[in-house]
Structure 1
Amino acid sequence: MPIRPFALFAFLPLAACSAAASDNAVQKFSFDELQAQAAPVISASPDATDAVWMAAADDTHSLRFGRPNEAPMLTLTCETQSKATPIIHIVRNATGEPGAKALFPLLGSNMNARIAAETRMRDGKWIWESEVPALDPQLDVFLPGNAVEATLPGGGTLKLAASKEPARVIAACRHQTGAELVSAEPAPQA
Structure 2
Amino acid sequence: MRRAPALLPILVLAACKPPAADDYVERTRIGGEVQGPSEAIDSPDTQGAVWAPADKARRLLYGKPGERPLFAIECVGQGAVPMLAYTRFAKADPHAKAVLALIGNSHVTRLPIDAIQINDIWRWEGAAPVTDPRWDVLTGTREVEATVPGAGSVILNPSALPGALVEECRALAQPPSDDEPNPAPSAPEGPA
Q: What TM-score results when the alignment is normalised by the length of structure 2?
A: 0.77
Rate the CA distance shift 1:20–1:10 in 2: closer, same or farther, 3 A.
closer
Equivalent AA in structure 1 for residue 98 of structure 2: A
Rate the CA distance shift 1:18–1:165 in 2: closer, same or farther, 3 A.
farther
- Residue 29 of structure 2: aligned partner: 29
Rate the CA distance shift 1:10–1:48 in 2: closer, same or farther, 3 A.
closer
Query: CA RMSD of the aligned region, Å?
Result: 2.9
Q: What TM-score results when the alignment is normalised by the length of structure 1?
A: 0.78
Rate the CA distance shift 1:144–1:109 in 2: closer, same or farther, 3 A.
closer
Gaps of at least 5 residues in structure 2 are 177-192
Rate the CA distance shift 1:8–1:93 in 2: closer, same or farther, 3 A.
same
CA distance in 1, matches of 2:37, 2:113: 21
Listed one character per residue, the Cα deviations across residues 13-44 of structure 1 (whole Å, up to 9, x for unaligned) are 22311474665xx66335x63x3536534211
- Residue 50 of structure 1: aligned partner: 48
Rate the CA distance shift 1:7–1:176 in 2: closer, same or farther, 3 A.
closer
- Residue 71 of structure 1: aligned partner: 68
Equivalent AA in structure 2 for residue 178 of structure 1: Q
Q: Please tell me whether residue 137 in structure 1 is matched to residue 133 in structure 2.
A: yes
Equivalent AA in structure 1 for residue 109 of structure 2: A
Equivalent AA in structure 2 for residue 13 of structure 1: I
CA distance in 1, matches of 2:128, 2:46: 24
Listed one character per residue, the Cα deviations across residues 142-163 of structure 1 (whole Å, up to 9, x for unaligned) are 0112110011111011111011
**Contact persistence 1:145–1:165 (CA under 8 A):** no
**Contact persistence 1:145–1:166 (CA under 8 A):** no
Any residues of structure 2 matched to 1:95-174 within 5 Å, and which? 95-174=91-170
**Contact persistence 1:46–1:157 (CA under 8 A):** yes
Specify the SS of the correspondent of 2:173: coil
Q: Percent identity?
A: 29
Rate the CA distance shift 1:76–1:8 in 2: closer, same or farther, 3 A.
closer
Specify the SS of the correspondent of 2:140: coil
Gaps of at least 5 residues in structure 1 are 181-190
**Contact persistence 2:105–2:138 (CA under 8 A):** no
Listed one character per residue, the Cα deviations across residues 36-74 of structure 1 (whole Å, up to 9, x for unaligned) are 536534211111122111111x13411100011221100
**Contact persistence 2:84–2:129 (CA under 8 A):** yes
| Rg comparison, structure with higher value | 2
- Residue 182 of structure 2: aligned partner: none
